[in-house]
Structure 1
Amino acid sequence: MNILIIGTGYVGATTAMVFAESGWQVTGLDVDADKIERLRQGRLHFHEPGLEDLIAKHVHSGRLLFTTDKETAIAGHDVIFICVGTPSRPDGSADLRYIQQVAEDIGYLMNGYKLVVTKSTVPVGTQEQVKAWIEAAQRQPHPFDVASNPEFLREGKAVEDALQPDRIVIGTDSAKASEQLLTLYQSFQCPRIITTPRTAELIKYASNAFLATKISYMNELAKLCDEFKVNVNEVADGMGLDPRIGPSFLQAGLGYGGSCFPKDVSELVMTARAQAVQLHILEQVMEVNRIQPTYLLDKARSRLGDFANKNIAMLGLAFKPNTDDIREAPALRMIHQLLLEQANVRLFDPVATLPAHSSSYEAVTVCASVEEAIQNADAVILCTEWAAFGQLDWENLKGLLNQLNFFDGRNMMDARWMRGIGFYYQGIGND
């Protein structure tokens, strides 16, 4: 089977790599000519460790091709994965315009049986909509199946998750579609769940919403830990040893961000509201996450008196390490507030950059190194736990600062050691 991947963003590029690595012939289709040209050269348009090397490997072998010619691509492939974006609308619901456009293109251009697989994260019931859009766009009545096959990728660890998945979820009512997808994934050693399309779609949302809930729960608990002078990291260690809880996603900090958790939690809440169901817990999860960055800013403001004309060094912009993704990054919200309060913000991130063509952050000084960012700083705020930040010699670097104030939004540093070398150190729940 030759595979067509429509959409070559984070999910699409990773999916293309996975199937090429598994021995299949794969073509990536996108309307963005610049993106396609980069991929044809084996270069990624985003940062994801290890992925570019594998893309380049299969481009050079000829197993992985890229094109902007949708007519030839759709006609020439029997298995088509939809990997386009599903951004949130202003009200928090999913915008399916790109899914609909792809479905209509497939319907209009198909020339025989097609297995259409939705890999994008979509609301419950989308598989049925995709089927209807394809049928309505057909010029001739060709047979097809539509299945759901959600992705479970972590940004920064997409290669590991893609090549060694912890489960494969396939949602389809078609025995033919199920058989084809199982064949595509035959080399993977992990549980396979064959279920209905609606169940598969909900598994994806429910998984991310539950992980977001764990994060917000620990962030709430961290505030109580501060009051009791208890270290939230030790509490998390004790909790995580219970196999019913596990250690993952128990790290307190500035809150979650990125392209998945904020969008998926919001869209699940809106999906429920459309069915007259209120998901009270998830509504509170979103609220806790919304206000979490202000918690550390309040501590910094209390220490400094105010931010006006203070030099604030921001370390980290990406919502997590090993990615350049700044969507819904807590650092952006903090920078916005600091600028409102007339602070002088100096920023360093080893990979991520501020939004292009945005006037909101023109007053931020973007620095080429940590040393440049912290020069004459009245406070350092660590927003992203890049490993390099923890490897720095802070005892020698402290001479660059105007005041030795360090606010650790990820509880990355050893509080006792930082205080021992002279810093006023404040994390989140780690006194």
Structure 2
Amino acid sequence: MRIAVIGTGYVGLVAGTCLAESGHDVTCVDVDARKVASLQEGALPIYEPGLEELVRRNARARRLHFSDDVAGAVSPSQVVFIAVGTPPGERGNADLQYVLAAAEQVGRALRHYTVIVDKSTVPVGTAERVREVVRRQTDVEFDVVSNPEFLKEGAALDDFLKPDRVVIGTCSERARKMMADLYAPFVRTENPILFMDPASAELTKYAANAMLALRISFMNDMATLCERVGANVDLVRKGLGADRRIGYAFLHPGVGYGGSCFPKDVRALICTARDAGLELDLLRAVETTNFRQKRLLLAKALKHYGELCDRTFAVWGLAFKPKTDDMREAPSVELIEGLLGKGARVQCHDPVAAPAARSYFGDRVVYAPTCYEAAEGTDGIFLVTEWNEFRRPDLKRLRKLMRQPVIFDGRNVLDPQLARSEGFTYIGVGRD
């Protein structure tokens, strides 16, 4: 099948590459000619484990192509994915200008029946708006399908190649059959393709992210309560997770969620509900808790030291989660800005996100090549992102490098008793 993917960001690049891996002829399109040239040379704009190798392999096999010519990619294609950004607008609503602009370009390029797929995260009613935009550009027959992505950064290839489920929103039997054929190679393990109307598919994406964000904020509230009443959040989490109705996923307390999905999708869902005359008080509380949680480590540091001026701190982890270089709404940003604002010096380390961090902090912080070099001469370490290399550090070595042996464990990944036995002051989230 000939496929065009409009947008070479996270979703578009992963989707296009995985579809090419399953044997389709895929052209990924971007209006940024320099970005396209870099992709043609094998240089990726994002870090995702395994993606670079997959892109290179399918490009060599001539199944995966990159272009800035929308019409040239769309005209011969049977399926066109729109996978452009939907940044938050002024009210927190999803800004659809790039989706609708792409739809207009696609409409002008249609030459035969085509399935147009909304892959971007979009609010309820977007499929109909895309349909209207395309219809104004062409008399060619087409269908618009909602096919939201459920990719976790750091595990996106597995999520696409072996999905928990595929959600397809369409009322067209012809489009339904084409999408079923397209996704058949990815659901051989009996994980379902869920067919529904476009509005339900659009809402499913937001509902899923909002539920996961809710679990995170709930557990962070429980961690705060544990600190107030002398309970241990690790034990509370085990008691909750053992209940099969609840499970353990997304019940790890920490310094809040970030990234490109949860923050903007929660806000967009609140905005969508408000436009429909409904206030989602529960999700507003989720946001409030998350905002407070991002300031947690700074508050703990102020309580421990009093003044932070002229102190030096290490920050371990810059990306919002491991296995990605995504800094969007990362808790590290709030923490580092807070430390700098209090007159402290910051030495940071992240396995892959340092280049991205420079766009946030420039030369205001020191970028260390290792976590130990980041810790040298510091008054404390803030562990913000739970990369594997931070889970079992050489505490004896750290103790010798630091001016004051203090660890603020924002992800509860270290053993408190072990750290204290090595002479550290250990401060976690909701635990002794």
Output the TM-score relative to the length of structure 1: 0.97
1:245 equivalent in structure 2: 246
The aligned runs of 1:13-412 (5 Å cut-off) are: 13-138=13-138, 141-187=139-185, 188-189=187-188, 190-353=191-354, 358=359, 361-412=362-413
Aligned-CA RMSD value: 1.3
Q: Given that residues 347 and 365 in structure 2 are in contact (C-alpha distance below 8 angstroms), is that contact kept between their aligned partners in structure 1?
A: yes
Tell me the distance in 2 between the aligned counterparts of 1:363 and 1:74. 45
Tell me the distance in 2 between the aligned counterparts of 1:296 and 1:2. 50
Q: Given that residues 354 and 361 in structure 1 are in contact (C-alpha distance below 8 angstroms), is that contact kept between their aligned partners in structure 2?
A: no
For residues 189-242 of structure 1, give each alpha carbon's deviation from its aligned partner in whole angstroms, at most 9, with x where no partner exists. Answer: 311111000000000000000000000000000011112332212211221121
Tell me the distance in 2 between the aligned counterparts of 1:360 and 1:72. 40
Q: Given that residues 258 and 329 in structure 2 are in contact (C-alpha distance below 8 angstroms), is that contact kept between their aligned partners in structure 1?
A: yes
The aligned runs of 1:407-422 (5 Å cut-off) are: 407-422=408-423
More displaced 10-residue stretch of structure 1: 33-42 or 331-340: 33-42
Q: CA deviation at 1:355?
A: 5.1
Mind listing any 5+ residue stretches in structure 2 that lack a counterpart?
Answer: none
* SS of alignment partner, residue 181 of structure 2: helix
* SS of alignment partner, residue 185 of structure 1: helix
Tell me the distance in 1 between the aligned counterparts of 2:359 and 2:12. 27
Give the letter for the 2:306 counterpart.
G
Residues 1:271 and 1:425: Cα distance change in structure 2 (over 3 Å): same
Tell me the distance in 2 between the aligned counterparts of 1:357 and 1:301. 26
In percent, how many aligned pairs have the same letter? 45
Tell me the distance in 1 between the aligned counterparts of 2:125 and 2:55. 33
Residues 1:430 and 1:354: Cα distance change in structure 2 (over 3 Å): farther
Q: Given that residues 307 and 342 in structure 1 are in contact (C-alpha distance below 8 angstroms), is that contact kept between their aligned partners in structure 2?
A: yes
Q: CA deviation at 1:275?
A: 0.7
Tell me the distance in 1 between the aligned counterparts of 2:393 and 2:339. 25
Residues 1:358 and 1:351: Cα distance change in structure 2 (over 3 Å): closer
Tell me the distance in 2 between the aligned counterparts of 1:79 and 1:288. 41
Output the TM-score relative to the length of structure 2: 0.97
For residues 103-132 of structure 1, give each alpha carbon's deviation from its aligned partner in whole angstroms, at most 9, with x where no partner exists. Answer: 000111212211100011000000000001
For residues 144-203 of structure 1, give each alpha carbon's deviation from its aligned partner in whole angstroms, at most 9, with x where no partner exists. Answer: 100000110000010111111000100001110001000001122311111000000000
Give the letter for the 2:327 counterpart.
I
Q: Given that residues 88 and 264 in structure 2 are in contact (C-alpha distance below 8 angstroms), is that contact kept between their aligned partners in structure 1?
A: yes
Q: Given that residues 392 and 414 in structure 2 are in contact (C-alpha distance below 8 angstroms), is that contact kept between their aligned partners in structure 1?
A: no
* SS of alignment partner, residue 245 of structure 2: coil
Q: CA deviation at 1:43?
A: 3.2
Q: CA deviation at 1:408?
A: 0.5
Tell me the distance in 2 between the aligned counterparts of 1:363 and 1:124. 42
More displaced 10-residue stretch of structure 1: 107-116 or 405-414: 107-116
Q: Given that residues 42 and 52 in structure 2 are in contact (C-alpha distance below 8 angstroms), is that contact kept between their aligned partners in structure 1?
A: yes
Q: Given that residues 104 and 133 in structure 1 are in contact (C-alpha distance below 8 angstroms), is that contact kept between their aligned partners in structure 2?
A: yes
Q: CA deviation at 1:353?
A: 2.5
More displaced 10-residue stretch of structure 1: 13-22 or 91-100: 13-22
Q: Given that residues 349 and 369 in structure 2 are in contact (C-alpha distance below 8 angstroms), is that contact kept between their aligned partners in structure 1?
A: yes
Mind listing any 5+ residue stretches in structure 1 that lack a counterpart?
Answer: none
Residues 1:332 and 1:96: Cα distance change in structure 2 (over 3 Å): same
Residues 1:84 and 1:161: Cα distance change in structure 2 (over 3 Å): same
Q: Given that residues 43 and 55 in structure 1 are in contact (C-alpha distance below 8 angstroms), is that contact kept between their aligned partners in structure 2?
A: no
Tell me the distance in 1 between the aligned counterparts of 2:240 and 2:158. 26
More displaced 10-residue stretch of structure 1: 48-57 or 360-369: 360-369
Residues 1:158 and 1:430: Cα distance change in structure 2 (over 3 Å): same
Q: CA deviation at 1:358?
A: 4.9
Q: Given that residues 336 and 361 in structure 1 are in contact (C-alpha distance below 8 angstroms), is that contact kept between their aligned partners in structure 2?
A: no
Paired residue total: 429
